[in-house]
Amino acid sequence: MLLKTKKTGFIGAGTMAKAIMKGLENTGMQMLASDVAPGPGVLADNRELTRKSDIIFLCVKPFAVESVLREIRDDLNENHLLVSIAAGMSTEMIEAVIEKQLPVIRVMPNTPATIGEGMSALCRGKYADEEHSLLIMELFKAVGRCVEVKEELIGAVTGISGSGPAFMYLIMEALADGGVKLGLKKETAIELAAQTALGAAKMVLETDKHPALLRDEVATPGGCTIAGLSVMENEKVRSALIKTVQETAKVSSQLG
């Protein structure tokens, strides 16, 4: 596996970095991390991490990306590959700050990478080629699924999958609350909602059927499911979710 030959450094050891690193534990990849709050196995020096790494992940908040890049840019060389997971920070912005013709890949991952069920999307900067994108694609496929998109679509990705787990948790919580209201124990209702969400997602991914078709297969004429779907339509759940994706994408584009 090509990844095993690469030393990967994570600048910023927050929730998302830890999720990716945990997901990559079984790949044999050599990993380092640095953070403002160093601990066991976490360096305090971003420049030291840069010198020791081939692939450098920028896992800091968007407002901190520029200062980190200015800090490490003298240690960057033609063998480095920069990967940013900072929302709102374009590859063009990163290239302008480092003032070097280095490959930059931008990725929008999500936290289910922790359990190997992540959904990520990447786009290439001006100096990144197909080999670079395939390498990072391989890395993120080790923790779930990964697709490549044009950079102008990364905001849409953020609205669906980047922030999407939070939206799914809210939906599952609401379904479970409905069950509790009808007399189910909370733990049972949550298990029912979570497994149902998991099963429905696998049906979409493994059958290649459109979600609308799968929905119709559940909803028999005059039955209880169509009655429930009618409530969702009357309450404009579909419209609310579309607006949720749009607003999330809008805000993510402003973070840089």
Residue 147 phi/psi, 5-degree rounding, is -130, 160
What single DSSP character describes residue 111?
G
**Distance separating alpha carbons of residues 233 and 226, to the nearest angstrom:** 10
Position 206 in a domain: yes
Specify the CATH number for the domain of residue 170: 1.10.3730.10
Q: What is the pLDDT of residues 14-51, one digit of tens each?
A: 888 888 888 788 778 889 999 888 777 788 899 999 99
- What is the rounded average pLDDT for all residues in the chain? 93
Q: What burial letters (b/e) apply to 74-106, b meaning 16+ CB within 10 Å?
A: ebbeeebbbbbbbbbbbbebbbebbeeebbbbb
Nearest Cα to Cα of residue 144 among 20, 14, 13? 20
Same domain, 137 and 169: no
pLDDT at 27: 78
Same domain, 13 and 74: yes
Let me know: does 69 contact 60? Beta carbons within 8 Å.
no
Same domain, 93 and 196: no
Instruction: Examine the fold and report which residue of 122, 154, 186 is the final residue of a domain before the chain moves on.
Output: 154
Same domain, 25 and 144: yes
Same domain, 37 and 115: yes
Q: What is the pLDDT of residues 61-72, one digit of tens each?
A: 999 999 999 999
Same domain, 50 and 12: yes
Specify the CATH number for the domain of residue 113: 3.40.50.720
Same domain, 66 and 181: no
Same domain, 244 and 183: yes
Q: How many independent structural domains does the chain possess?
A: 2
pLDDT at 66: 95
Position 159 in a domain: no
Instruction: Examine the fold and report which residue of 119, 154, 189 is the final residue of a domain before the chain moves on.
Output: 154
pLDDT at 245: 97
Same domain, 148 and 219: no
Position 226 in a domain: yes
Whole-prediction pTM: 0.89
Q: Which domain holds residue 228?
A: 164-254
Q: How many CB atoms are closer than 10 A to CB 62? A: 17
Position 83 in a domain: yes
Same domain, 183 and 112: no
Q: What is the pLDDT of residues 121-146, one digit of tens each?
A: 999 999 999 999 999 999 999 889 99
Same domain, 149 and 62: yes
